[in-house]
Amino acid sequence: MTVRGRIVCAPALTLLVALALLLVVDIQPVFAWQATPPAKVEPPKDPKTIQLEGIVTQAKQLIREGKYDAGIQEADKALAIDAKFAAAQVARGMAFNGKGEYDTAMKEFDLVTAITGREPEKLQNRADAYAHRSHSLYQKGQYLDAIDNAYFATLEKFDHPLAHINRAVAYVARQDFDRAINSANRAINIDENSAEAYSIRSLAYAGKKNADQAIKDADKAIALNSKLAESFQRRAVAFVVKGDAAKAKQDLDQALVLKPNHADALCDRALLYGMAGDLPKAMIDLDAALKANPHSGRVHYVRGLAELEQSNFDKAVASFDEAIRLQEKNALAYSSRGYARNGRKEYDKAREDFTKAIELDSKLASAYSGRNTALKNLGLTKEASADNAKYKELTAPPKKAEKKDNKKEEEAPAFVVKSKAVAPEKRATMLKSAKEIDRLIAANYEKVAVKPNARTTDEQFLRRIYLDVTGTIPTYNQTRKFLTSSDPNKRTLLIDELLSSDGYASHSFNYWADILRYTDNLNGTVRGEPYRQWIKQSLAESKPWDKMVHEMMTAEGLIWKNPATGYMQRDASMPLDNMNNTVRIFLGTRIGCAQCHDHPFDRWTQKEFYQMAAFTYGTLTSTNGGDKRYWESNPDDRLQTEYAMIEQEEEDRRNNNYRFDRLISINMMMVNDQVDRKITLPKDYQYDNAKAGDVVEPKSLFGASAEIKKGETPRQAFARWLTAKENPRFALTIANRLWKQAFGIGQIEPVDDMMDTTVAENPELMVFLEAEMKRLNFDMKEYLRVIYNTETYQRQVSVEEVNPGETYHFSGPVLRRMTAEQVWDSFLTLAVPDDYREMPATLRTDVIGVDLTSVKAPDLLAADSMGNQVDGSVGKWQQKHIYKGVLLARASELPSPVPASHFLRMFGQSDRELISASSTMGSVPQVLFMFNGPISHMLLESNSTIYNTVMKKKSINDGIRSIFLTILNREPDTEELALAVKEVNDNGAPGYGNVIWSLVNTREFLFIQ
Amino acid sequence: MRDLLPKLDGLSRRRFVEYAAKSALGVSLLPNLDRAVGAAQVANSAGGKAKRLIYLFMNGGMTHLDTFDLKPGHENQGETKGIATNVAGLQISQFLPTLATQFDKIAAIRSMYTLTGDHEDGEYLMRTSYEEIATERHPSIGPWIQHFKGRQSKSLPDTVLISAPARHPGAGFFDPTFSPLPIGDPNRGLENTTTPAYLTAESFGKRVELIDAFDKKFRDRFKQRRVQTYTDFYTEATTLLSSGELKAFDLKEEKDADRDRYGRDPFGQGCLLARRLIENNVRCVEVTCGGWDMHANIYNGGTLPARAGILDKAVGNLLKDLDEKGLLDETLVVLTTEFGRSPVINYNAGRDHHPAVFSSMLAGGGIKGGQFYGTSDAAGHAVDQDGVAPANFNATIATALGLPLAEIVHSPTGRPFKVAHDGTPISKLL
Antiparallel, parallel or unpaired: β B181-183 and B340-341? unpaired
In a mutational test of the B interface, the residue from A519, A654, A920, A969 whose CB has the highest number of chain B CBs within 10 Å is: A654
Please state the rounded mean pLDDT for residues B74-94. 91
Predicted ipTM?
0.73
* CA distance linking residue B235 with residue A538, whole number of Å: 44
Number of domains chain A is built from: 3
In a mutational test of the A interface, the residue from B75, B192, B286 whose CB has the highest number of chain A CBs within 10 Å is: B192
Phi, psi values for residue B102, rounded to 5°: -115, 10
B45 inside domain: no
pLDDT at res. B252? 92
**Cα A970 to the chain's mean position, in Å?**
46
Judged by CB atoms closer than 8 Å, whether chains meet at B183 and A901 is answered as: yes
Please state the rounded mean pLDDT for residues A950-973. 95
Antiparallel, parallel or unpaired: β B181-183 and B159-162? parallel
* CA distance linking residue B372 with residue B391, whole number of Å: 19
- CATH number for A350: 1.25.40.10
pLDDT tens-digit series, residues A883-933 = 888 999 999 999 999 987 899 988 989 888 878 888 888 888 888 888 888
Judged by CB atoms closer than 8 Å, whether chains meet at A931 and B177 is answered as: no
Asked if residue B344 and residue B383 are part of one domain, the reply reads yes
The C-alpha of A142 sits at a distance from chain B's nearest C-alpha, in angstroms, of 23
Asked if residue B220 and residue B356 are part of one domain, the reply reads no
What is the chain A residue with the closest CA to B177?
Answer: A923
Residue A5 reports pLDDT greater than 50: no
* CA distance linking residue A107 with residue A93, whole number of Å: 8
Asked if residue B180 and residue B126 are part of one domain, the reply reads yes
pLDDT at res. A657? 87
Residues pairing with A811 in the sheet: none
Please state the rounded mean pLDDT for residues B254-268. 95
Asked if residue B97 and residue B79 are part of one domain, the reply reads yes
The C-alpha of B7 sits at a distance from chain A's nearest C-alpha, in angstroms, of 19
Residues of B in Cβ contact (< 8 Å) with A580: 134-135
pLDDT at res. B137? 84
A914 inside domain: no
Asked if residue B231 and residue B128 are part of one domain, the reply reads no
Q: Of B206, B221, B249, at which residue does a domain stop?
A: B249
B301: nearest CB among A158, A905, A928: A158
What is the chain A residue with the closest CA to B302?
Answer: A158
Percent of chain A beyond pLDDT 70?
94
Residues pairing with A972 in the sheet: none
A550 inside domain: yes
pLDDT at res. A641? 93
* CA distance linking residue A97 with residue A34, whole number of Å: 13
B128 inside domain: yes
B43 inside domain: no
- Extended strands (E) in A135-216: none
Asked if residue B70 and residue B58 are part of one domain, the reply reads yes
- Residue pair B138/B413 in contact (Cβ under 8 Å)? The answer is no
Q: Of A365, A395, A425, at which residue does a domain stop?
A: A395
Domain assignment of residue A530, given as a range? 515-594+602-616+670-723
Q: Of B207, B230, B249, at which residue does a domain stop?
A: B249
Q: Of A345, A374, A395, at which residue does a domain stop?
A: A395
Please state the rounded mean pLDDT for residues A972-995. 93
* CA distance linking residue A804 with residue A595, whole number of Å: 28
- Residue pair A860/A667 in contact (Cβ under 8 Å)? The answer is no
Judged by CB atoms closer than 8 Å, whether chains meet at B192 and A976 is answered as: no
Residue A23 reports pLDDT greater than 70: no
What is the chain A residue with the closest CA to B137?
Answer: A914
Contacts of A453 (CB under 8 A, 6+ apart): A795, A796, A797, A798, A811, A812
pLDDT at res. A399? 56
**A647: exposed, middle or buried (Cβ count in 10 Å: 0-12, 13-18, 19+):** exposed
Whether the ω angle into residue A750 lies within 30 degrees of 0, i.e. cis, is yes
Asked if residue B258 and residue B240 are part of one domain, the reply reads no
Residues of B in Cβ contact (< 8 Å) with A898: 166
- Could you tell me which of B358, B360, B430 has the C-alpha nearest to residue B399? B430
What is the chain A residue with the closest CA to B347?
Answer: A654
Judged by CB atoms closer than 8 Å, whether chains meet at A577 and B181 is answered as: no
B270 inside domain: yes
Domain assignment of residue B327, given as a range? 50-189+253-429
pLDDT at res. A394? 84
Number of domains chain B is built from: 2
- Please report how the helices A297-309 and A263-275 are oriented relative to each other, as an axis angle in degrees rounded to 10: 20
Asked if residue B135 and residue B70 are part of one domain, the reply reads yes
Residues pairing with B332 in the sheet: B53
* CA distance linking residue A633 with residue A640, whole number of Å: 13
- CATH number for B416: 3.40.720.10
Whether the ω angle into residue A29 lies within 30 degrees of 0, i.e. cis, is no
B367 inside domain: yes
* Alpha-carbon distances, residue A777 vs A498, A550, A770, A781 (angstroms): 21, 14, 11, 11
Judged by CB atoms closer than 8 Å, whether chains meet at B210 and A995 is answered as: yes
Residue A471, phi-psi category: left (phi > 0), alpha (psi -120 to 50), beta (remainder): left
Judged by CB atoms closer than 8 Å, whether chains meet at B137 and A914 is answered as: yes
What SS3 state is found at B244?
Answer: helix
What is the chain A residue with the closest CA to B301?
Answer: A158
Q: How many residues in chain B?
A: 430
Residue B6 reports pLDDT greater than 80: no
pLDDT tens-digit series, residues B208-241 = 889 999 999 999 999 888 888 888 788 878 888 8
DSSP A1007: E
Asked if residue B62 and residue B29 are part of one domain, the reply reads no
Judged by CB atoms closer than 8 Å, whether chains meet at A580 and B206 is answered as: no
In a mutational test of the A interface, the residue from B211, B240, B249 whose CB has the highest number of chain A CBs within 10 Å is: B211
B346 inside domain: yes
- Residue pair B189/B251 in contact (Cβ under 8 Å)? The answer is yes
Residues of A in Cβ contact (< 8 Å) with B167: 897, 911, 913
* Alpha-carbon distances, residue A425 vs A435, A496, B130 (angstroms): 17, 12, 55
Residue A702, phi-psi category: left (phi > 0), alpha (psi -120 to 50), beta (remainder): beta
Asked if residue B419 and residue B302 are part of one domain, the reply reads yes
Please state the rounded mean pLDDT for residues A21-44. 44
DSSP A711-772: T--HHHHHHHHHH-TTSTTHHHHHHHHHHHHHHSS-SSSSTT---TT---SSHHHHHHHHHH
**A28 — pLDDT class (breaks 50, 70, 90):** very low
- Cβ atoms within 10 A of the Cβ of B244, count? 9
B44 inside domain: no
A491 inside domain: no
- Could you tell me which of B239, B286, B288, B294 has the C-alpha nearest to residue B266? B288
Residues pairing with B336 in the sheet: B57
Residue A38 reports pLDDT greater than 60: no
pLDDT at res. A42? 52
B84 inside domain: yes
Long-range contacts, A759-766 (Cβ 8 Å, 24+): A760/A736, A761/A444, A761/A807, A761/A808, A761/A809, A761/A810, A762/A440, A762/A441, A762/A444, A762/A809, A762/A810, A764/A440, A764/A443, A764/A444, A765/A437, A765/A440, A765/A441, A765/A444, A766/A732, A766/A735, A766/A736
Residue B360 reports pLDDT greater than 50: yes
Asked if residue B83 and residue B2 are part of one domain, the reply reads no
Q: Of A660, A693, A723, at which residue does a domain stop?
A: A723
The C-alpha of B103 sits at a distance from chain A's nearest C-alpha, in angstroms, of 26
Residues of A in Cβ contact (< 8 Å) with B191: 901, 928-929, 933
pLDDT at res. A6? 31
Asked if residue B304 and residue B278 are part of one domain, the reply reads yes
B215: nearest CB among A908, A917, A1002: A1002
Give CA angle at A703 (A585, A751), nearest 5°: 30
- Residue pair B92/B83 in contact (Cβ under 8 Å)? The answer is yes
- Could you tell me which of A531, A623, A667, A574 has the C-alpha nearest to residue B121? A574
pLDDT at res. A563? 98
pLDDT tens-digit series, residues A747-806 = 998 898 899 999 999 999 999 999 999 999 999 999 999 999 999 999 999 998 887 667
Please state the rounded mean pLDDT for residues A161-188. 91
- Residue pair A572/A522 in contact (Cβ under 8 Å)? The answer is yes
* Average pLDDT score, chain A: 89
Higher pLDDT, B268 or B209: B268
What is the chain B residue with the closest CA to A815?
Answer: B222
In a mutational test of the A interface, the residue from B77, B216, B226 whose CB has the highest number of chain A CBs within 10 Å is: B226
Phi, psi values for residue A513, rounded to 5°: -60, -35
Asked if residue A520 and residue A391 are part of one domain, the reply reads no
* CA distance linking residue A861 with residue A850, whole number of Å: 11
**A309 — pLDDT class (breaks 50, 70, 90):** confident
- Could you tell me which of B127, B266, B39 has the C-alpha nearest to residue A913? B127
Q: What is the CA radius of gyration of chain A?
A: 39
Judged by CB atoms closer than 8 Å, whether chains meet at A601 and B414 is answered as: yes
Judged by CB atoms closer than 8 Å, whether chains meet at B134 and A571 is answered as: yes
Residues of B in Cβ contact (< 8 Å) with A997: 207
A654: nearest CB among B161, B221, B348: B348
